[in-house]
Amino acid sequence: MISRHYFISLFAAVLLSPLSIVAQVQNETLANRQPHYFDINDWDIDADSINYAKHIAPILQRSCVQCHRPGGGGPMSFTSYEEVRPWAPVIMYRTAIRDRMGAMPPWYVEKNIGITDGFESDYSLSDLDLAMIQAWARNGAPRGNPADEPPALVFTDGNDWTLGEPELVLRSTDQTRPAVGPDWWGDIGLVPTGLTEDRYVKSIEVREVNDIPSDIGASTVG
């Protein structure tokens, strides 16, 4: 069995009452939606020109590598072509299901409600991103010229907060899952804050902590 818990840090969105944090669970009514597949030719881009170095690596660095890296929360690393290539068909499918449980990256925000000028650190993929991933995977996932690949990202030590030292750190209850099984998309439950008056939240950082050694591979994509 594996045990996971989450640290949720609040750095200072507007609250009308003492805060409780709950993990967002995707609406099951969306379960029957078909994957979002696109034709790259709609953007006047030649499908044969799409390659890892120029097109896919930048997408992965922006939207996937924060978790899919050594020591990250993802079960496999996407920091190099050699690591990414075997997963190309799965990446194509899991990104294409976008608004269903199990989608990658897991960004289930209603973008047309409340926020009008975009979110900071928005990891979601555009239609063009999906079209490029799909054209690349269907064409055999070519690498392109390695010299065109973006520089590797440098991450801070796992004990450092990405957004700076938080003013409030909350810990969820442990979530124990079987060592072998499918991805779990469930509710981690309410996490009381202990706050007794209204507060404004500037930013939130969620950090997963688990007892899975980082050098052990996994058979899922998220």
Task: Determine the Cα angle at 72 with ends 183 and 50, to 5°.
Answer: 85
- Which candidate, 195, 177, 198, 174, places its Cα nearest to that of 5? 174
Q: How far apart are the first and last CA of the chain?
A: 18
Q: For residue 212, is it left (φ>0), alpha (ψ between -120 and 50) or beta?
A: beta
> What string of pLDDT tens digits covers the 222 residues of the chain?
444 544 545 544 333 333 333 333 444 444 456 899 999 999 999 999 999 999 999 999 999 998 899 878 788 999 999 999 999 999 999 999 987 878 899 887 777 776 667 777 788 999 999 999 999 999 999 999 999 999 999 887 666 787 788 999 998 888 777 777 776 767 778 889 999 999 888 888 877 766 655 555 554 444
CA–CA distance, 100 with 94 (Å, rounded to integer): 9
DSSP state of 52: I
Residue 158: the pLDDT is 62
Long-range contacts of 73-81 (CB under 8 A, 24+ apart): 73/208, 73/210, 74/222, 75/217, 75/218, 75/219, 75/220, 75/221, 75/222, 76/217, 76/218, 76/221, 79/152, 79/153, 81/52, 81/53, 81/57, 81/143, 81/146, 81/149
Residue with tokens 């069995």: 1
Four-point Cα dihedral 205, 95, 103, 14, nearest 10:
40
**From CA 146, how far away is CA 154, in angstroms rounded?**
19
Identify the sign of the CA torsion 161, 163, 167, 172: negative
Which distant-in-sequence residues (6+ apart) come within 8 Å of 18 by Cβ?
193, 195, 196, 197, 198
- Amino acid, res. 136: W
Q: Check residue 115 and give its pLDDT.
A: 65
- Residue 145, judged by CB atoms within 10 A of its CB (0-12, 13-18, 19+), counts as exposed
